[in-house]
Amino acid sequence: MIEPTDRGLTLGDGLFETVLAEDGAIKRLPAHLDRLAQGCRVLGLPAPDSGEAERRMREALEGIAGRAAVRLTLTAGPGGRGLDRPEALQPVLFATAAPSVKPDKPARLVTSKVRRNEGSPTSRLKTLAYLDNVLARAEARAKGADEALMLNARGEIACAAAANLFWVSGGRLYTPHLDCGVLAGITRARVIAAAAAQGEPVRAVRAGPEILRQADGIFLSNSLIGLRPVDRLDGRKVPLWPDLRELDGALA
């Protein structure tokens, strides 16, 4: 049970990973645990034992068949009043799981008014302080869209509220550079590797949103949705990139 003084609850002091499971098989767990450990180094938290993390995730999956989202959460544990951590941290680790259906239709995007803070180290981590993303997604849903396009404070393309973003222009693949305030997504890395293996390197760039208006295709990526095409951006029609299915197949 989470204590009322838990720093994850009171200050967002912690990290999480959302992992795909299919018929009880947890997908790409080592990559997720590696990213969690990297985030712990940045935040100054002890990384959880990988065996314990997997055990808790498997317990959360009990009784859930088919496709599921497993969330592993690590908090800095209980602490007193104020910002300073206690000298002896008592991190809390737990997992939850729920059925997850893969979207079968292209996504509609709208540009959010909520900006990513590219100057913050946490913009590149999956911290428990995710309220900007919550607000961006709520804004998108209120406008009849599925997902939000988030820019950073410099006005550059960053990501979607819960996904990385790619676009195609002139036959080349592009994605925002990590220093635009972008999470280093597990599926993002797999897309970059698969495209390179096919002789089509992905270019990580800093670009304004106007470049998306001329794109030959836009798609989203994360561990749960895989690759999802975008067919609308701010009400404008977006072409569907015909090679997306081939790239998606290369990730299987």
Phi, psi of 187 (to 5 degrees): -70, -35
The answer on 239 and 199 residing in a single domain is: yes
Q: Which of 51, 71, 99 is the last residue of a domain?
A: 99
Q: What's the pLDDT score for residue 227?
A: 98
Using the predicted structure, report yes or no on whether residue 188 has a pLDDT greater than 90.
Answer: yes
172 shares its domain with 247: yes
- CATH number for the domain spanning 24: value is 3.30.470.10
32-61: average pLDDT: 98
- pLDDT for the residue 2: 85
174/60 same-domain check: no
pLDDT single digits (tens) 204-234 = 999 999 999 999 999 999 999 999 999 999 9
pLDDT over threshold 80, residue 252: no
Q: How many helices (H) and strands (E) does the chain have?
A: 6, 13
Segment 64-70 shows an average pLDDT of: 96
| Structural domain includes residue 231 | yes
Last residue of a domain, one of 99, 127, 146: 99
∠ CA 78-84-86, rounded to 5°: 45
Mean pLDDT across the chain, nearest whole number? 96
Choosing from 57, 80, 99, the residue where a domain stops is: 99
Same domain assignment for residues 232 and 115 = yes
Q: Which domain holds residue 126?
A: 107-251
Residues 75 and 195 in one domain: no
Quick one: pLDDT band at residue 28, thresholds 50, 70, 90?
A: very high
Same domain, residue pair 79 and 115: no
Question: What six digits make up the tokens of 106?
Answer: 């292209």
20 in a structural domain = yes
**Is residue 30 domain-shared with residue 95, that is, in the same domain?**
yes
How many domains, in total, are found in the chain?
2
Distance separating alpha carbons of residues 96 and 59, to the nearest angstrom: 9
Same domain, 228 and 208: yes
Note the pLDDT of residue 168: 98
List the beta bridge partners of residue 173. 168
pLDDT at 169: 96
Our CA angle for 170, 148, 188, nearest 5°, is 55
- In angstroms, the CA 24 to CA 74 distance is 22
Note the residue count of the chain.
Answer: 252
1, part of any domain? no
Half-sphere exposure of 204 (CA within 13 A, CB side): 17
DSSP letter assigned to residue 106: -
Q: Does residue 2 lie within any of the structural domains?
A: no
Q: Encode pLDDT of 93-132 as tens digits.
A: 999 999 999 999 999 999 999 999 999 999 999 999 999 9
Position 80 confidence tier, pLDDT thresholds 50, 70, 90: confident
Q: What pLDDT is stored for residue 70 in this prediction? A: 98
169 located within any domain: yes
Q: Phi/psi of residue 203, each to 5°?
A: -100, 120
pLDDT value for 193: 96
Q: Are residues 159 and 207 in the same domain?
A: yes
- Each residue's pLDDT tens digit, 48-64: 999 999 999 999 999 99
| 123, 217: one domain | yes
Does residue 111 share a domain with residue 95?
A: no
Q: What CATH number is associated with residue 133? A: 3.20.10.10
Look at residue 81 and tell me whether its pLDDT is greater than 90: no
Asked whether residue 165 is assigned to any structural domain, the reply reads yes
> Are both 90 and 128 inside the same structural domain?
no
- Domain for residue 232, yes or no? yes
